[in-house]
Copies of this chain bind each other. A is one copy, B any other.
Amino acid sequence: MTQDQTTELKRVDARRNEQTLLDAAAELFVTSGVNVPVRDIAARAGVGTGTVYRHFPTRAELVIAVYRHQVEACVQAGPDLLASQPSPLAALERWLLLFADFLMTKHGLATVLQSSDPGFAPLHQYFLDRLLPVCASLLQAAEAAGEVQPELEPYELMRGIGNLCIGAETDPNYRPHRLIEVLVMGLRRPV
């Protein structure tokens, strides 16, 4: 029992530290991009550099961890929107806008999603593994409903949305939402 307690306490501490790191990284990713020096992350979190490496041996792991919650929220939103929106196409549009909001509030996330640095491959994979099926099923539903023509592969659509979000945070004259709406309009089957 005491042993369990001790273990539990340790875990709690470690968890807290990990959370501190995630918060620090999230902040710095926004202000300085996901390639911010490890030292900066450690400093912001008030820990040593070694602690960063202990919790997240690679940068990709840290990035994944930072965004995991929101990626999962996006995954959940897919079926929810399909059920609650008036049509599959409306659900798709809402989901794409949601996905875009997620990316846009994370400065540099859209950027890293298109980085060709092989170190980020696991991150790309994670995003695709989780989100592509959701996007595909929404697109499929809209096609099945006769609302859209099969112009784009789900992968291209997601990639395009991701790209459209790049740089939005720092440029008030650039509104990805508008572009996404136009894009979805372009998918619509002419009546």
Chain A contact residues, CB within 8 Å of chain B: 111, 114, 116, 151-153, 155-157, 159-160, 163-167, 170-171, 173-176, 178-179, 181-188
Contact = CB atoms under 8 A, between A and B. Distances in A.
A148 to B, nearest CB: 10
A163 B167 contact: yes
Contacts of A155: 173-174
14 contacts: A111-B114, A152-B179, A156-B173, A156-B178, A156-B179, A163-B164, A163-B167, A181-B186, A182-B183, A185-B185, A185-B186, A185-B187, A186-B187, A186-B188
A179 B179 CA distance: 11
A43 to B, nearest CB: 14
A164 B179 CA distance: 11
- Copy count, this protein chain: 4
Interface SS majority for chain A: helix
A185 B114 CA distance: 25
A17 to B, nearest CB: 16
A152 B182 contact: yes
Given A116-B170, A160-B176, A185-B185, 9 more contacts: A152-B178, A156-B179, A159-B167, A160-B164, A163-B165, A163-B166, A163-B167, A182-B186, A182-B187
Contacts of A175: 156
A165 B171 CA distance: 18
A170 B153 CA distance: 17
